[in-house]
Amino acid sequence: MEKRGVKEFLKRKNVTITVQTYLIDALGAMAFGLFASLLIGTIFGTLGQQLNLELFNVIADYAKSATGAALGVAIAYALHAPALVLFSAATVGIAGNALGGPVGALAATVIATELGKMVSKETRLDILVTPGVTIISGVLIAQFIGPGVAGFMSWFGSLVKTATELQPFYMGILVSALIGIALTLPISSAAICIALSLDGLAGGAATAGCCAQMVGFAVLSFRENGVGGLMAQGLGTSMLQMGNIVKNPKIWIPPTFASMITGPIATMVFQLKNIPAGSGMGTCGLVGPIGVYTAMGGGKNMWLGILFVCFLLPAVITLVSGELLRKAGWIQFGDLKLDLK
């Protein structure tokens, strides 16, 4: 009876303790929080520096400073938090991000939001109790786990970057394929790259993988989705294909194969580098190429690398391998169809 009572209480409070909720919905929402703060701030910052527009530099500073708050609100929104919990999550996100980076913000906000939801509208002092419980619990969690999380993510990110420097071919393949897959999955490749501080050659490999997925799916599905699908996936997100991937996983082969080729080309031929904020974004809003420019500052090798690694090679490799799979009967017409209405 007691367990049943707890389950009914959690259900009434809309607290759903599942992997889907915390590692897919919440993590996926982080991408929106990051894009609305750190990523758009990075774009404005790059434009401000290159065009000598001080207003853009000011906007960039404000946008980047709002990263923690944006993360907190985005995560709480994904967890269907009531108003007071949602607004209080901004403070929790700031604390979590300051002490533990994006992963710290994720952990602190998830726990604080769920606790806030549990006490929401349970007392006559809701205006004080709900934000109080949410903020106090969130800040305590951030202080408790934040430094450890930040230390581990920094160590692991350094390990990946060092390995890529030492083994650019094999790590180029691995990083490109894995981060590219993460971009298409309903999680946030951008959050992963930022949390790991994935820059340098590793950032370049990650960029190659993300671009391969986005450009690859855009051109592979052109006959089904036309120009609208080309733009939605090429400049938006390849995550739109997840429903079709579940139905026929073979459609994932061409863009993933392309990423395994462009990854080592990025690290060994063009030696592309990126910043953490751009490494996991691919061609979404052209953030990936902009990040490459921010990291490398121009030059013939950089421009050729962006052209071939981010656009031409993913398109050609995916189209060719995709046609082979279509002829083999592994991919049928309509397998990549999107409902873009």
Residue 6 predicted with pLDDT over 80: no
The pTM of the full predicted model, rounded to 2 decimals, is 0.78
Of the candidates 154, 186, 219, which is a domain's last residue?
154
> For 129-139, what is the mean pLDDT?
95
Same domain, 179 and 125: no
Position 340 in a domain: no
Quick one: pLDDT band at residue 137, thresholds 50, 70, 90?
very high
Of the candidates 154, 187, 217, which is a domain's last residue?
154
Same domain, 121 and 263: no
Model pLDDT, residue 2: 62
Same domain, 7 and 150: yes
> Based on C-alpha coordinates, what's the Rg of the chain?
21
Residue 341 predicted with pLDDT over 70: no
Quick one: pLDDT band at residue 309, thresholds 50, 70, 90?
very high
Same domain, 118 and 220: no
Q: How confident is the prediction for the chain on average, in pLDDT?
A: 90
pLDDT digits (tens, 9 = 90+) for 269-300: 999 999 998 899 899 878 899 999 999 988 99
- CA-based torsion, 23, 24, 26, 30: positive or negative: positive
Position 172 in a domain: yes
Give the least confident one: 11-15, 49-53, 209-213: 11-15
HSE on the CB side for 124, CA within 13 Å? 0
Number of domains in the chain: 2
> For 249-272, what is the mean pLDDT?
96
**Percent with pLDDT over 70 in the chain:** 99
Residue 1 predicted with pLDDT over 50: no
Model pLDDT, residue 322: 95
Same domain, 12 and 147: yes
Coil vs helix vs strand at 274: strand
Quick one: pLDDT band at residue 223, thresholds 50, 70, 90?
very high
Residue 169 predicted with pLDDT over 90: yes
> For 122-132, what is the mean pLDDT?
91
Same domain, 9 and 125: yes
Q: How far is the C-alpha of 269 from the C-alpha of 148, rounded, in Å?
A: 37
Of the candidates 154, 185, 206, which is a domain's last residue?
154
Same domain, 124 and 185: no
Question: Helical H runs in 18-53?
Answer: 19, 26-34, 40-51
Query: Residue 222: which of 212, 213, 232 has the closest Cα?
Result: 232
Same domain, 308 and 200: yes
Residue 323 predicted with pLDDT over 90: yes
Q: How far is the C-alpha of 89 from the C-alpha of 267, rounded, in Å?
A: 39
> For 302-313, what is the mean pLDDT?
97
Position 160 in a domain: no
Same domain, 263 and 207: yes
Position 232 in a domain: yes
Residue 187 predicted with pLDDT over 80: no
Same domain, 23 and 148: yes
Cβ neighbours of residue 180 closer than 8 Å, sequence gap 6 or more: 189, 206, 208, 209, 210, 212, 213, 255, 256, 259, 282
Position 206 in a domain: yes
Model pLDDT, residue 32: 81
Position 337 in a domain: no
Range of the domain at 185: 167-327
Position 296 in a domain: yes
Model pLDDT, residue 305: 96
Query: Residue 256: which of 164, 336, 176 has the closest Cα?
Result: 176
